[in-house]
Amino acid sequence: MPDRFTLQDPRYQYPAPPFPRQPQSPPGLAGDMQPAPDHGEESYAGFGRLSGRKALITGGDSGIGRAVAIAFAREGADVAINFLPSEQEDAQDVISLIEAAGTQGFALPGDVTDEGFCRELIAAAVDKLGGLDILVINAGRQQTRPSIAEVSSEDFDKTMKTNLYALHWLAQAAVPHLPPGASVITTASIQAFEPSAHLLDYATTKAGIVAYTKALAEQLIEKGIRANTVAPGPFWTPLQPSGGQTQDKVESFGQQSAFGRPGQPVELAPVYVLLASQEGSYITGEVFGVTGGKGVT
């Protein structure tokens, strides 16, 4: 893995396309990706910024959630991760990495498209962690569809429930448990600002996440709780080869960024750490773009 602390040209720090075609069934597994994503397994070093903190991360088995879980643990937090039962293999790797960092890791499998489960998930996280002061709502669904005619009601409903309804259910259940100083972090996308034609439902939910988080931030600061959202651009995660992009686009994924490559999940982790930590004490209601040069407006 590259040494992230040595001065280097960021354009060449990680692999660039072309990548091999690699179709997977959704939601996909990080272990089956070529090249392997860097979630910080070997490259993230912590500095105690989250010592004693208690975090729940949805979609914590792979991609962005996995990188955030590793970073939080190495910064001193106990971490519970949620994932689908089919992602158990990736999730167990993450739990092992959390425990290797010297903190507690808890695996809480289940489907966040179910309202009842979302409420149970918050209760379970509070019980296992002994409280909750960081909530990262990150689990997402993205399936490419070439035409509006091919976005079925079932498709639309599942994307809405995964990306937006779950956000509401989880936040609503968590707020009574969050103390002053706590942080809520959501994951939006550049798609909220530059929607792609083939991602109608996904882009719609990501715009909704931005609006919801900004409104939530105004409410929660009255309790001393901050809420922010991160808007990534093209990042190399299982979301892409498992139906989030066509295989043609997987081959050239990230090529159109200013860097000529996709971002690696570990390159997002420091932003989540900042927003979770006391170093981000004057940041709320913000959208942090990490887009490879595209910006968010």
202 carries an active-site annotation: yes
3-state secondary structure 34-79: CCCCCCCCCCCCCCCCCCCCEEEEECCCCHHHHHHHHHHHHCCCEE
Instruction: Give every CB contact of residue 296 below 8 A, 6+ residues apart in sequence.
Output: 190, 192, 193, 231, 287, 289
Q: What's the Cα-to-Cα distance from 255 to each of 14, 249, 266, rounded to whole Å?
A: 12, 10, 19
Beta bridge partners of residue 187, listed in sequence order = 230
Q: Is the peptide bond before 18 cis (omega within 30 degrees of 0)?
A: yes
Task: Tell me the Ramachandran region of residue 268: left when phi exceeds 0, alpha when psi lies from -120 to 50, beta otherwise.
Answer: alpha
From the list 14, 44, 202, 272, the catalytic residue is 202
3-state secondary structure 224-277: CCEEEEEEECCECCCCHHHHHCCHHHHHCCCCCCCCCCCECHHHCHHHHHHHHC
As a whole number of angstroms, the distance between CA 170 and CA 135 comes to 9
By the 10 Å C-beta count (0-12 exposed, 13-18 middle, 19+ buried), 110 is classed as middle
Radius of gyration of the chain (CA): 18
| Positions marked active-site | 202
